[in-house]
Structure 1
Amino acid sequence: MMFNWLSLITGLFYIVLGIVVILYKFFFTVLDPGVAYALGILLILYGIFRIYRAITKIKSSGNEE
């Protein structure tokens, strides 16, 4: 159960990291704008996927109890 909540928090972290990469165009090194947008969008999509997966697992574990 704790893993599901941790996955939810990690998903939020990925979304925030994606936004930061898009705004500052920096991820361990200075990025070109096209690379920054692509990486930022990829991080945001992965964060949304993690949140979706965590929510479905939390709902399914709530039905089992």
Structure 2
Amino acid sequence: MMFNWLSLVTGFFYIILGIVVITYKFFFIVLEPAVAYPLGIVLIIYGVFRIFRAISKLKNTKNEE
């Protein structure tokens, strides 16, 4: 159960990191816009995926109880 909540929080952090990469074009090194935008988009999509998966697992856990 705790893993699902942690996965939910991690998803939000991935979305925030993706927005930061797109906005500041920085991810440990200064990135070119051609690299920053796709990387930021991938991070945001992965964050949404983690949130969706965590919510579905939380719903399944509640239905089993």
Same fold (TM over 0.5): yes
- TM-score normalised per structure 2: 0.99
Structure 1 counterpart of 2:4, which letter? N
Alpha-carbon separation, structure 1, partners of 2:30 and 2:13: 20
List per-residue Cα deviations over 1:26-51 (Å, max 9, x = no partner): 00000000100000000000000000
How much has 1:25 moved relative to structure 2? 0.1
Normalized per residue, which structure has more strand? 2
1:49 is aligned with what amino acid? F
Is residue 54 of structure 2 the alignment partner of residue 54 of structure 1? yes
Normalised by the length of structure 1, the TM-score is 0.99
- CA RMSD after TM alignment: 0.3
Alpha-carbon distance between aligned partners in 1 of 2:35 and 2:62, rounded to the nearest angstrom:
40
How many residues of Structure 1 are paired with residues of Structure 2 in the alignment?
Answer: 65
Tell me, in whole angstroms, the C-alpha distance in 2 between the residues paired with 1:38 and 1:32: 11
Q: Which amino acid aligns with 1:38?
A: P
Residue 22 of structure 1 corresponds to which residue in structure 2?
Answer: 22
Give distance in 2, aligned partners of 1:23 and 1:64. 42
- For 2:9, the equivalent position in structure 1 comes to 9
